[in-house]
Amino acid sequence: MASIPVLAAALNPGGIIAWLIIGLIAGTIANWIIPGKGFGLLGNMVIGLIGAFIGGLLVNLLVPDQTYGFWGSLLVAILGACLLFFVIGMVRKRRGASS
């Protein structure tokens, strides 16, 4: 049952709709920051959503029970999306080298 409070806290700043909007923005910005081909507009938005969720969970684990407002949540989402773009880029390179 410990995972439910973590999930609720990660999505707390503004609820799910706000995280969707922030994730969509974060995916676009992270694609500009991390070099690579990207995944198209829709793919970048999905990566932004997943990255926002990952960033929210990581920050909640490091600094529990904190809220950061819109700009702080956007920064956390961008960092999470950048991390996800980086990991996906490394996996792509590794698969390309082994093929």
Question: Is the model more confident about 99 or about 43?
Answer: 43
C-alpha 94/C-alpha 92 separation (Å) is: 5
Q: Is the pLDDT of residue 44 over 50?
A: yes
> Which of the residue ranges 38-42, 44-48, 60-64, 79-83 has the most confident prediction, judged by mean pLDDT?
79-83
- The helix/strand count (H/E) of the chain reads as 4, 0
> Which of the residue ranges 4-18, 31-45, 59-73, 76-90 has the most confident prediction, judged by mean pLDDT?
76-90
Mean pLDDT over 22-41 rounds to 85
pLDDT value of position 52: 86
Q: How is 75-88 classified by DSSP, letter by letter?
A: HHHHHHHHHHHHHH
Neighbouring CB atoms inside 10 A of 24's CB total 17
C-alpha 37/C-alpha 64 separation (Å) is: 35
